[in-house]
Structure 1
Amino acid sequence: MKRITLLILAAAISTPALAAPETYVIDNTHTYPRFSYSHFGFSTQLSRFDKTSGNIVIDREAKTGSVNVVIATTSVDTGYPLFNEHIQGVDFFDTAKYPTATFTSNKVNFDGEKIVSVDGSLTLKGISKPVTLDVTSFQCMPHPMLKKDACGANATAVVKRTDFNMGKYAPNVSDEVTLTIAVEAVKE
């Protein structure tokens, strides 16, 4: 009996601990979804959203995870207050009726240890479409100021405004919009 107990104990000690999913809460002060588009071919305009929430779950051992992001569309910042109001109107974000946009993942794709893309659904103005975020950088490490583990990433995708009933002035103002998300999240 002692021998069996010792064998079980030895097996338990020599078996590496299985990694568990880790949850990171999005840091609104360092997360800025941005969007850019061609303005009549004159220039590429860049705007951002100032209020974002959500979480990221990563299971490095299983190579799985999830991403849930909620963007307050009322926090759009074009750099010009009058245009902020214009872009929140019914022809574009219609923030009175749809005050948030969401991205909910259905698959996190790894290449080795790194996350390289996230497949999911983007919902704008009540319309959901599949979108793949290409992750251009991803880093997890102890946060030097917060003394907690944190992750940061940059991701991009291209969507069409007309897919979300926001196509006013297309094609003069480009239908294709590049989304760029700079995100930081802190471990719960």
Structure 2
Amino acid sequence: MKKNIVFFFLLLSLSFHASFGQTWSLDKSHAKLEFSVTHLMVSNVEGNFKSFDAKITSAQDDFSNAVIELTADINSINTDDDQRDGHLKSPDFFDVAKFSTLTFKSTSFKKVGDKKYKVEGNLTMHGITKKVELDVTFNGTAIHPYTKKTIAGFKVSGKLKRSDFAIGATVPGAVVSDEVEISTNAEFVKG
């Protein structure tokens, strides 16, 4: 009887591992979470979040059906202008005193071409959760020459509307575009 119980738990453990696969952690020194908006309808203003973390869990080597989770500290927003950054943190935009983080968790990660994927998931910003779809390019894997760990590279891009998240609701689109372009480049380390 004891052998059967041990065997059962061993099988359960193996099936759990097979179902959820490997975890890939963000290499923060080789990652950027950037955005861009149009200012006064004539130029682009770019920014990023300095503090964010992400992980990928995948049972497949090609990352099909992977699960991606991301969290960013809104207080780390950076547009290379302290006054503008302060305004973005204010209740006029992100209101970091009430909503200090943004989160994303994928609900679908599907291959649509050679190294091309569509990721869908729930993005929460400013207390509002909306489904978003982003384009992903899988840049491949490599063995890091020093750590000997497997790394994977991804580029993620897409667009969303700040009005969907009630960010800058009183700021007209002619001043700051409603459409926000998202661009992320990141390396992940296996294990």
- Contact (CA 8 Å) 1:26, 1:52: kept in 2 or not? no
- Contact (CA 8 Å) 2:156, 2:185: kept in 1 or not? yes
After TM superposition, give the deviation of residue 26 of structure 1 in Å.
1.1
Moved more, 162-171 or 117-126: 162-171
Q: Deviations over 1:116-160 (max 9, x none)?
A: 121101110110111111013432221223320111111111111
SS in 2 for 1:29: strand
Q: Aligned residue for 2:47?
A: 47
After TM superposition, give the deviation of residue 168 of structure 1 in Å.
3.3
Q: Deviations over 1:6-38 (max 9, x none)?
A: xxxxxxxxxxxx897221011222221111011
SS in 2 for 1:87: helix
* Matched pairs, number: 171
Q: 2 CA distance for matches of 1:130 and 1:84?
A: 26
- Contact (CA 8 Å) 1:149, 1:186: kept in 2 or not? yes
Look up the equivalent residue of 1:57 and give its one-letter code. Answer: T
Q: 1 CA distance for matches of 2:128 and 2:108?
A: 20
Q: Which runs of 5+ in 2 are unaligned?
A: 1-17
Q: 2 CA distance for matches of 1:138 and 1:117?
A: 14
RMSD (Å), alpha carbons = 2.0
Moved more, 71-80 or 104-113: 104-113
- Percent identity reads 31
Q: Aligned residue for 1:180?
A: 183
Q: 2 CA distance for matches of 1:93 and 1:118?
A: 24
Q: 2 CA distance for matches of 1:37 and 1:29?
A: 25
Q: 2 CA distance for matches of 1:20 and 1:69?
A: 17
After TM superposition, give the deviation of residue 111 of structure 1 in Å.
3.9
Moved more, 67-76 or 112-121: 112-121
- Contact (CA 8 Å) 1:156, 1:178: kept in 2 or not? yes
The runs of at least 4 consecutive aligned structure 1 residues that moved more than 3 Å come to 111-115
Q: Which runs of 5+ in 1 are unaligned?
A: 1-17
SS in 1 for 2:83: helix
Look up the equivalent residue of 2:142 and give its one-letter code. Answer: M
Q: Aligned residue for 2:110?
A: 109
Look up the equivalent residue of 1:169 and give its one-letter code. Answer: V
Q: 2 CA distance for matches of 1:112 and 1:176?
A: 26
After TM superposition, give the deviation of residue 65 of structure 1 in Å.
1.0
After TM superposition, give the deviation of residue 42 of structure 1 in Å.
2.1
Higher-Rg structure is 1
Q: 1 CA distance for matches of 2:109 and 2:177?
A: 29
With normalisation by structure 2, the TM-score equals 0.82
Look up the equivalent residue of 2:155 and give its one-letter code. Answer: N
Q: Aligned residue for 1:29?
A: 29
- Contact (CA 8 Å) 2:156, 2:183: kept in 1 or not? yes
